[in-house]
Structure 1
Amino acid sequence: MLKKALIFCAFIALLLAAYAGAGFYVLPKLAEEKLPALLAEKTGLSVKLQAVHFNPFELNAELSGFSAGLPQGGQLLGFEQLAVDIDLLESIRQRGLTIAAVTLSRPVVDLQRRADGRFNFSDVLEKLSAPASADEQAAPTAESEPTPILVRRFVLEEGQIGWLDLQVGPAAGESLSSLKLSVTELGNQGGRAAIDLAAKLGSGGGLTWRGDLDLTAFGSKGRLKLESLALTKAWRLFLNGRLPLEIVDGRLALQTDYDFSVTEAGTQLLLSNGGLDVKQLSLVEAGKSDKLIDLASLAVNGIRLDLQKQQLDIAGVSSGNALIKSWLQADGQLNYQSLFADQAAADPAPTQDKTAEPWQIRLGELSLVDYQIDFTDFTQPKPLPLQLSELTVSIKDFRNQDGVGLPLQVSSRFNNTGSLKLAGDLVLAPFSTNLQLELRDIKLKTFQSYLEPFVKLELVDGDLDTSGQLHVAATEPLQLTYRGNANIDQLITRDKANNKDFVKWTKLDVQQMLLDVGKQDYALGKVSFDRPYIRFMIKKDGTNNVADILVEQTPVKPGRDAASKTSAQRVESPEPVVKIGKIEMTGGQSDFADYSLILPFVVKMNALNGEVDGFASNTDQDVKLKLLGKVHDLATVKIKGNYRLQSGDSDIALDFSHMPLPLVTPYMAEFAGYRIEKGQMALNLTYSIKKGQLSAQNKVFIDQLVLGEKVENPKAVSLPLELGVALLKDGDGKINLDFPITGSLEDPQFSVGSLVADVLVNLITKAVTSPFKALASLFDADNDYSSISFAAGSRDLTPDEAVKLDRIAQALAAKPELVLEIKGVAYQIQDWPVMRFDALKDILKKMKSGELSDKGEKIRSEYIELSAAEYERLLAKFYAEVFPQKFERSLLGAPRIKDNPDADFYIQARQELEAIMPPEPERLNDLAVGRANHIAKYLIERAGVDRSRIYILATELNNQDAEGGIHALLSLNVAS
């Protein structure tokens, strides 16, 4: 028996030895030799395996130094070590496979999408998915329950995943490094596995995921966090070519709790405690460099999402310090419309299911702070820049439900001087709003270009203020009403045809406005003018200066269909109705001229006070007019009467009294060649229009008229004026003229002037010649003395221009009542290319000053003189700072340009640096001032003109091409 026991023990020992030998040595050796070949055959990869270790008693195995290379070169995947530890006892107890631990160390995965769109692992997938041969196909087996598999713990350490998309570009890559993954209790028989994932992105930032995963129920719950994602990299990888905008900078961080599950009811995704944070986001139009959107910060917090209920709740969205650039193109489209229109044409939107339930979106609060919108209107002949700065927007309790009102608040600076505020409720669908609107200090000059197609009028100054209630509703027809008050302060307009003030006032106050655009009903309770001014002239032919400023509009001839539509619209649209309760004027002034009277009558009226009552465009009731004022602070004027808007019937009486006739001497001299030494005049003009028939009574009273000396004027009308005055005077030295005018205003042959000519001589006006042409005539020359020419970038006078100044000095000596005004001008296009080398040298001097300062020597840059060697050294240094990608040094250390190494570096570097230097307004302004000073200095010191007769005006920086040459401008004025 003992012998049998010994034999049995020996047999068992032999088996254990064989088992141990096979497990410790044979099996690892076979795996090292056969496994790479088998994997290579199945996948087509070049597989290497450094070592295999197996413990047959503890059932754990280790694979070391694994790599799988691609046939065309490069590694697809690999790892340093894979360790698997099987729990034999637990596997037996559970009748399945229980793995105590799996540890994967330093795995590396390198994924690529080639330029042809295929991935570097596409061939592997195709080989693995190829149909098996008849010998390899296994016989069908009956379905059975899957073998229970449980992994107690899976650990991945120091992993790395690389991605390169060559279809996008050679730099379109990203990587995950320091990848750590821990999974516990992962099995195929139910239960949730705990997962802890962390990784760093190659472009910066990191990713963490902590949660659980149920493979059988296909569900997961946990928290995701992404930190400092480089949006530039994300754009290149995923959005390049899909959006017309390019992300050139920005970082994204987001985090959320999630609960994902798939049940019979469908897929459910719950997000909670979500947040998103974007920093330093910069967007440009694809292929261009100018930033369209520059956003410092955007934060979204309190995100909650319920996929099945289709609900999205956001507690708040806040953003600050953003710059948005937009413009209206010459074709009338916004730049963003054009951008996304092209994108929409390339990628048509998918057809939406109209029966699907809409999402319910809620937003607690939207807050935008310190935004800036730079807008340019390129539809105008001169691009018009408009800016909203310090823009703040607040919206609360947003709901994407019809009829829900949103509290809205908006405030902003407009073009750095004005302000805008909106506060009220906004309804998105159907769109309507009730807002309290407030505008302050809006500069009307900003909108000059919008006037130019209609009037030749320059808006010199004027501020608009208004506050009221704005209501808009997107109905048919559109409802748009505004109720409130407004005022325009310090308005000044100038007639471009004559370069004179046309209309201006200190303050215009409009009370109780009610503007209804839909009904075309415009009511103003009271309009008050404080110190208004108007220049009005009735010309000889009966027309007035208002017609001079109107731009003739070219009528558009519509087609038959368009004409029918226009007719229909005219029938449907109501005629505008304007009602004004009262118009008041205090302290008004007016320059009035009427050349249709017997004598040309030109006066300046001031201290005008009056009112107009009962103005309504839809009635033919009398509009009552009453005005009282003075002429030249001496004579009085009274205007009183009634006027009917629709029929044109009127009764107007104008009275002027105590008009000093010497005040109109320039006009008498211009027409008759005489000065007036003494006299007063009174006018009484009565106009009555009934059914198109004019009846006017003109009474002229002249007292003690004394003609002065005769003015030598060869073009004056030849009249025996002395005899005429003697015959008209009565015994007391008075002249009375009383003559009526009648006629039909509808008769094209009717002319007041021709009727007056039958009574007195028709006076002829003369155009005054240009002052500088008069100067030129003194020297019997055709030179233009209104400007002085200069060489580009220079402020020195040429000999020819000095001769012109000598002649101007002679003319000033002959006309002591005149003063000369000098406006220095610098032309950016011509002057700057000559000046920018000096600007470049100043930069190099500042660099040298900084270097000396670093050594403890403080010398201001303007006192530094650069040697040739210092200039070349600093020029190379500056070029390397500006164009680092183009700069290199030769083997001997000489600087050179990479793409043009044979070029003279210093000449080429100077040209390239000068080319990018923007014009410096201060340097150009100094040039303009210098030109004006040189002219003034020459006239005073060389030509002997008294200093008090020379005025230097504000300089001008001209951004246009100086087609006629570079000039400083001269003008004449009367000494004050």
Structure 2
Amino acid sequence: MTETVRRKPAYRRWWFWLLVLALAWLVTGFGLVPLYLASAIPERVQQYLGWTADTGDVSFNPFTFTLTAEDVKAKDGEGAPVFEAGAVTLNLGFLQLIRGSLNAQQLTLDNPFLRVDLLGDGRTNLVKDWREHGATGSNEGDRSSVQWMLGEGVVNGGRLQLRRLPAGDDNEPHTLTLEALGLTVTDVATTDQDKAGSYSLQAVMGEQVLESEGTLSLSPVWSNGRLSLDNVSADTLRAWLGDHLPWSVKSGRLTFETAYQFAHDNQGIALATRDGQLSATRLELADHEQPDQVLASADTLAMQGVAFNLDGPELVISAVTGESLHLDAVVSRDGTLNLTRSLRGSGETSSEGDSGDGRGLRWSVGRLDINKSTIAWLDERPESAVRLALQNVELSLGAMTEQLEEAITYQARGELEQGGTVSANGQFTLAPLTFEGGLNLDQLMLAPFNGYLREVSELEVLEGRLNLSGNIDIDVQDDPLTGTFSGRGSISQFDGRLPDEDDSILAWRELRLDPIEYNFSPARLELGTVTLSEPELGVVQYPHQPLNLVRFLGPASGEPAGSADSEAEGAPPLIFRLRQLDLANGEVRYTDHTPRPSFTSRLHDLEASVSGLSNITPQQGRFSLRGTLDDSGDFRADGTIATLGTDGRSEINATLEELSMPALNSYFGFYLGYRVDSGKLSGEGRYELQGTQLDATNHLVLERLELGEAVQSDAEITAPVRLGLALLRDEDNRVSLEIPVSGDLADPEFSLGPVMMRTLRASLVKAAMSPFNLLGSIADLGDYSPEELGGVAFLAGETTLVMGEYTKMESVAKALEAREEIVLTIRGVALESVDRPALEARLGDDESLPDNALESLASQRGTSLKSLLVEEYGVADGQIFLREPEVRPGEGGEGPVTIEFELESR
């Protein structure tokens, strides 16, 4: 009988349980796990991050351990979106999962969004939320219970939003959004590992492009690699680097490539870069406090060897090159330079050596080279601000740091926009602002510097070119400016005037100064030899005003240098020394607007020498000069010059020979009422000047002076000046005058020319009004006084002179012969009270006196005097004029009868 074999039940077969397990795995993997994960993911996100999460469809492949979640969204504790993804695909490692770690062999995110907030304490919102939720537990094991690693992570078309939250609650955060994000990450983990992972990142921000690759570790968080930023905007730079830059980036585009190191832990964020290359185009920088004011701009700017360390912070640049750079430099009234105002805070703080938080930026630049650039200079310290513009600037600077007191070497060259070139080399410091080195100015136009000049004079420069070479050492951080200059220079084709005058007051062809020694404060100027070629000086006298030279030598403000006010402010006067001045072919033009028409004169072909001039007592200078006055007069002068700016005594001896006097027509017409027909003027003068007080003696000789036609004059002159002139002449037809002059040169009413003319007029009037007082200088008067020669006495009723009167007439005749231009006028006179009784006494008893007897007597007396002078004493007939005879009443009955003479000029 066949034995029946009993089979095991299927449930006792291994394959059965394997099938059951497979079915359970499939049910669990495809059904239960997605259900679990759909609820567990939001729960775990809430547990470990404090976020509120939501997912769409969740699927899990139990064979490949691939998890896919669609439409994943998460919001932080404040309800703000923090993460989104269209799809999240995660391929897990089974063995590592069994060991207690989460191993994602591959993680793929499609179109994700992640918001990362950089908090004020150096953390990010992700780290903050993780530490506040996921890192909590009863022991260290709880803190590290969740560990994960990622073999490969891929982000396709994502967005990363970086927000930099300000310290204050009222300010808006700075936001940077990276779009079209492409990210690949390999071998990163939250556990310590021997080898760090790597990453590759590409993103765009509008027109800005970000590319980066390198290593990455999450435990602790650190990374190094290379980063490149292309076409970064000014808004981005202000938002993320504004607090670390001394200036605000107003506009421009920047491209930057660098190697970097980054770390983040409980100590904060550490960031360092090296081997950076930076280029900027159309860059504009502004002051943080005045963001609308552009301080500097550049068409192109490049930096090589850039290194930055956030721990400091510290910025190192090996070299900077720029083209078409423009600087707007402004020196304010307090002496502050706008370009260094932002640097002062960082420099002063860093110099203390404190490495803690809150320290200013430490920086260094190895070299700077600029070309094809411009510098606009505005100095607001002078009363009239000075504006200058340098173009085609070439500048090279040596190493510089935030230690602003350290010296920086420089080489510079530029062209003044108005004309001329400037070149310099040496070293300088930024704070305090100092310059030291060689300076060369070639054909530099002086007109733009009028603001500086008007601090010491009202002179306005119209033309002038400066050549200057030497060494300069100045310090401009405080007022007053200090420093020295030593060199030589020249000023050519100079022309300057006062603001309200049309003609130049000072001009020359060339002025050479060699050597020049100048100290800024206390101000001291020492000149060696000064050579002045073809100078022209225009001196103008206005009615009731001082000479224009007073304004030329004083500041535009009207306050003279060294005044009490300026000394009270602690500003010492300029110390000045001049060893030698040689002047050749000069000209001085003098215009006096007091007379009408104005008087003009010029001293030309002037040669002069001055030595030992100074304003330091007891220094006394000497001078000598020679020139031609108005094409005819030979003028010479020499003497001593007192210490400048003091009340010391200056002495001048002057000589003038044979000046043609028609040149003085304006003066003669205005003060005497006559033009000059001919004549020459010579004279000698001695002038003593103490302060502004002048005391002078002048000996003038008027040779063959002849007055011409009468002209209208403002001076009311009734005396016969022609007669006075004739009486003042000597036998050689000369008039000699001693004219003392004294007055205050600072007095607007005082002018040397008018004073001398008024003195001449007074002498002529005096002579004309008392003509016989001068006869003694003309002829021998014998025993007669000038008063006695003024008339002659007749016997009563007769034409016979009183005894002794004939001798008097002889003296008068001699005077007339000596002065042919003098005319004697005679009026025959008869006195009713004297001559009538005498005539009647000679009549018989039956005779009576004719009616015209007295008229006839008066006429005969005049005629007899003329006949006596002409026929007996030889006086020219043309010098004697008879007037209409006159009968006068007379007083008393006794004689004699006197006829008075009158002198006139032809």
- Normalised by the length of structure 1, the TM-score is 0.64
User: What are the Cα deviations for residues 225-275 of structure 1, in whole angstroms up to 9, with x where unaligned?
Assistant: 2221111244367759x9998644211222222345799999986643112
Matches within 5 A, 1:199-214: 199-214=202-217
Q: Report the residue type matching 1:179 in the other structure.
A: L
- State whether residues 198 and 206 of structure 1, in contact with CA within 8 Å, keep that contact through their aligned partners in structure 2: no
Alpha-carbon distance change, 74 to 145 in structure 1, aligned in 2, over 3 angstroms: closer
Q: Report the residue type matching 2:762 in the other structure.
A: V
User: What are the Cα deviations for residues 820-870 of structure 1, in whole angstroms up to 9, with x where unaligned?
Assistant: xxxxxxxxxxxxxxxxxxxxxxxxxxxxxxxxxxxxxxxxxxxxxxxxxxx
- State whether residues 422 and 436 of structure 1, in contact with CA within 8 Å, keep that contact through their aligned partners in structure 2: yes
Report the count of equivalent residues. 740
Structure 1 position 581 matched with structure 2 position 579:
yes
Structure 1: unaligned runs, 5 residues or longer? 765-976
Q: State the match for 1:3 in structure 2.
A: 8
Q: State the match for 2:152 in structure 1.
A: 153
Q: State the match for 2:438 in structure 1.
A: 436
Matches within 5 A, 1:344-383: 354=353, 356=355, 363-376=365-378
Q: Report the residue type matching 1:536 in the other structure.
A: V
Q: State the match for 2:305 in structure 1.
A: 302
Q: State the match for 1:909 in structure 2.
A: none
Q: Report the residue type matching 1:63 in the other structure.
A: A
Structure 1 position 195 matched with structure 2 position 194:
no
Q: Whole-Å Cα distance in 2 between the matches of residues 533 and 189 of structure 1? A: 91
Q: State the match for 1:273 in structure 2.
A: 275
Q: Whole-Å Cα distance in 2 between the matches of residues 487 and 408 of structure 1? A: 25
Q: Whole-Å Cα distance in 1 between the matches of residues 175 and 586 of structure 2? A: 74
Q: Residue 165 of structure 1: CA displacement? A: 8.9
Matches within 5 A, 1:461-860: 461-472=463-474, 480-496=483-499, 499-517=502-520, 520-536=523-539, 544-547=547-550, 550=554, 553=558, 577-592=575-590, 603-620=601-618, 622-645=620-643, 648-687=648-687, 696-713=696-713, 717-739=717-739, 760-761=761-762
- State whether residues 320 and 368 of structure 2, in contact with CA within 8 Å, keep that contact through their aligned partners in structure 1: yes
Choose which of 158, 162, 186 in structure 2 pairs with 1:184: 186
Q: State the match for 2:61 in structure 1.
A: 55
Q: Residue 370 of structure 1: CA displacement? A: 2.9
Q: Whole-Å Cα distance in 1 between the matches of residues 78 and 103 of structure 2? A: 39
Q: Report the residue type matching 2:737 in the other structure.
A: L
Q: Residue 214 of structure 1: CA displacement? A: 3.5
User: What are the Cα deviations for residues 134-156 of structure 1, in whole angstroms up to 9, with x where unaligned?
Assistant: xxx98769779867643222222
Q: Whole-Å Cα distance in 2 between the matches of residues 386 and 46 of structure 1? A: 65
Alpha-carbon distance change, 741 to 155 in structure 1, aligned in 2, over 3 angstroms: closer
Q: Residue 61 of structure 1: CA displacement? A: 1.4
Q: State the match for 1:107 in structure 2.
A: 112
Q: Report the residue type matching 2:654 in the other structure.
A: L
User: What are the Cα deviations for residues 342-391 of structure 1, in whole angstroms up to 9, with x where unaligned?
Assistant: x98xx999899656599986533111223323344567776653323223
User: Which moved further from structure 2: 483-492 or 74-83?
Assistant: 74-83
3-state SS of the aligned residue for 2:730?
coil
Q: Whole-Å Cα distance in 2 between the matches of residues 518 and 713 of structure 1? A: 55
Q: Report the residue type matching 1:658 in the other structure.
A: E
Q: State the match for 2:88 in structure 1.
A: 82
3-state SS of the aligned residue for 2:180?
strand
Alpha-carbon distance change, 406 to 276 in structure 1, aligned in 2, over 3 angstroms: same
User: What are the Cα deviations for residues 448-506 of structure 1, in whole angstroms up to 9, with x where unaligned?
Assistant: 34555765443322222211111247999986221111222222222345544322212
User: What are the Cα deviations for residues 676-728 of structure 1, in whole angstroms up to 9, with x where unaligned?
Assistant: 22222222222357999987442222222222222244655444222122222
- State whether residues 668 and 674 of structure 2, in contact with CA within 8 Å, keep that contact through their aligned partners in structure 1: yes
- State whether residues 739 and 759 of structure 2, in contact with CA within 8 Å, keep that contact through their aligned partners in structure 1: no
Q: State the match for 1:66 in structure 2.
A: 72
User: What are the Cα deviations for residues 575-600 of structure 1, in whole angstroms up to 9, with x where unaligned?
Assistant: 75422121011110002469999xx9
Matches within 5 A, 1:162-173: 162=161, 173=175
Q: Whole-Å Cα distance in 1 between the matches of residues 557 and 310 of structure 2? A: 62
3-state SS of the aligned residue for 2:504?
strand
Residue identity (%): 21
- State whether residues 190 and 215 of structure 1, in contact with CA within 8 Å, keep that contact through their aligned partners in structure 2: no
- State whether residues 197 and 217 of structure 2, in contact with CA within 8 Å, keep that contact through their aligned partners in structure 1: no
User: What are the Cα deviations for residues 169-227 of structure 1, in whole angstroms up to 9, with x where unaligned?
Assistant: 99975421121222222231312333323233333212222111234465433112222
Alpha-carbon distance change, 754 to 566 in structure 1, aligned in 2, over 3 angstroms: closer
Q: Residue 547 of structure 1: CA displacement? A: 3.0
3-state SS of the aligned residue for 2:207?
coil
Q: Report the residue type matching 1:26 in the other structure.
A: L
User: What are the Cα deviations for residues 624-680 of structure 1, in whole angstroms up to 9, with x where unaligned?
Assistant: 211111122332211122334267334422122221122222332222222222222
User: Which moved further from structure 2: 357-366 or 205-214?
Assistant: 357-366
Q: State the match for 2:318 in structure 1.
A: 315
3-state SS of the aligned residue for 1:3?
coil
Choose which of 15, 18, 23 in structure 2 pairs with 1:17: 23
- State whether residues 380 and 449 of structure 1, in contact with CA within 8 Å, keep that contact through their aligned partners in structure 2: yes
- State whether residues 96 and 149 of structure 1, in contact with CA within 8 Å, keep that contact through their aligned partners in structure 2: yes
Q: Whole-Å Cα distance in 2 between the matches of residues 348 and 618 of structure 1? A: 43
- State whether residues 280 and 300 of structure 2, in contact with CA within 8 Å, keep that contact through their aligned partners in structure 1: yes
3-state SS of the aligned residue for 2:486?
strand
3-state SS of the aligned residue for 1:761?
helix
Q: Residue 607 of structure 1: CA displacement? A: 0.9
Alpha-carbon distance change, 303 to 596 in structure 1, aligned in 2, over 3 angstroms: closer
Q: Whole-Å Cα distance in 2 between the matches of residues 743 and 253 of structure 1? A: 77
Alpha-carbon distance change, 693 to 213 in structure 1, aligned in 2, over 3 angstroms: closer
Q: Whole-Å Cα distance in 2 between the matches of residues 379 and 144 of structure 1? A: 67
Q: Whole-Å Cα distance in 1 between the matches of residues 531 and 282 of structure 2? A: 51
3-state SS of the aligned residue for 1:101?
strand
Q: State the match for 1:850 in structure 2.
A: none
Q: Whole-Å Cα distance in 1 between the matches of residues 159 and 687 of structure 2? A: 98
Q: State the match for 1:927 in structure 2.
A: none
User: Which moved further from structure 2: 447-456 or 497-506?
Assistant: 447-456
Q: Report the residue type matching 2:84 in the other structure.
A: G
Q: Residue 407 of structure 1: CA displacement? A: 2.8
- State whether residues 614 and 620 of structure 2, in contact with CA within 8 Å, keep that contact through their aligned partners in structure 1: no
Alpha-carbon distance change, 696 to 158 in structure 1, aligned in 2, over 3 angstroms: closer
Alpha-carbon distance change, 515 to 543 in structure 1, aligned in 2, over 3 angstroms: same
User: What are the Cα deviations for residues 713-767 of structure 1, in whole angstroms up to 9, with x where unaligned?
Assistant: 46554442221222223344332334556899999x9999889867642999xxx
Q: Residue 336 of structure 1: CA displacement? A: 4.1
Q: Residue 529 of structure 1: CA displacement? A: 0.9
Q: Whole-Å Cα distance in 2 between the matches of residues 11 and 131 of structure 1? A: 39
Q: Residue 326 of structure 1: CA displacement? A: 4.8
Q: Whole-Å Cα distance in 2 between the matches of residues 648 and 525 of structure 1? A: 23
